[in-house]
A and B are shown apart, each in its own frame.
Chain A
Amino acid sequence: NAGVTQTPKFRVLKTGQSMTLLCAQDMNHEYMYWYRQDPGMGLRLIHYSVGEGTTAKGEVPDGYNVSRLKKQNFLLGLESAAPSQTSVYFCASSTQALYSNQPQHFGDGTRLSIL
């Protein structure tokens, strides 16, 4: 089982460039999430989605956009990359909270450097 797959795994951008991170899950999960991880700050939620066609802001949404056109995919976009967006980005998915104690399932992360 693939689980949650993130592409790419590494990327270096120049300030002002744009890019899209792709997350795909094959577990038929309703919920998907994008986090960034920075030293000493744990995981911070950027955006999340509770279903196809829906998205919501998390703790640190500024400078990012997301889309969920298909249930299995969740895209994270950086329109104009800034050095402050240098981080490791994780995608995760989960089932609905009401019915399950299932945890989030994570991708392997994307290391993004903005020069």
Chain B
Amino acid sequence: AQTVTQSQPEMSVQEAETVTLSCTYDTSESDYYLFWYKQPPSRQMILVIRQEAYKQQNATENRFSVNFQKAAKSFSLKISDSQLGDAAMYFCAYRSAQWGNTGNQFYFGTGTSLTVIP
């Protein structure tokens, strides 16, 4: 099974500054999808950004962008101009694009808790 590793259990950032959350994954597949989810104290799981492995261009969504390094199997999330509302737990997730068992499941990291300091 694929594994997803988030090596930073906790991170903090000053309001308006930039922070990068790291994620690495282990796979032998060439085609897959990667996601970042945000979980605020309300407990909702909110999709932040997604990346297709076949795309070389890094995905961006407003203040959120990723640094996707396929060869290094790295998928970091950069949050620019951090806001108080960005404080949350962030999860990285992997999904195979293939049929069968590998494509049925999403694999999640253990999460990074982000604190935004006013």
A-side interface residues toward B, CB under 8 Å?
31, 33, 40-43, 45, 48, 50, 56, 58, 88, 90, 92, 94, 96-98, 101, 103-104, 106, 108-109
Contacts and interface: CB of A to CB of B under 8 A. Distances in A.
Nearest to A99: B97
Given A45-B105, A101-B33, A101-B50, 12 more contacts: A31-B104, A40-B9, A43-B108, A56-B101, A56-B104, A88-B43, A96-B103, A97-B33, A97-B104, A98-B103, A103-B93, A104-B93
A98 B97 contact: yes
- Interface of chain B: mostly helix, strand, loop or mixed: mixed
Contacts of B101: 56
B83 interface: no
Interface SS majority for chain A: strand
A44 to B, nearest CB: 8
Chain B: number of interface residues, binned into ranges: 20 to 34
A94 B52 contact: no
Given A97-B98, A101-B50, A42 B108 contact: yes
Interface of B: 9, 33, 35, 37, 42-45, 47, 50, 52, 91, 93, 95-99, 101, 103-106, 108-111
Contact of B50 (A56, A90, A98, A103): A103
Given A101-B50, A108-B44, A41 B99 contact: no
Contact of B110 (A31, A40, A92, A97): A40
A76 to B, nearest CB: 17
B99 A98 contact: yes
B44 A48 contact: no
B99 A94 contact: no
Contacts of B99: 97-98
Contacts of B50: 101, 103
Contacts of A45: 105
B35 A103 contact: yes
Contacts of B108: 42-43
A103 B105 contact: no
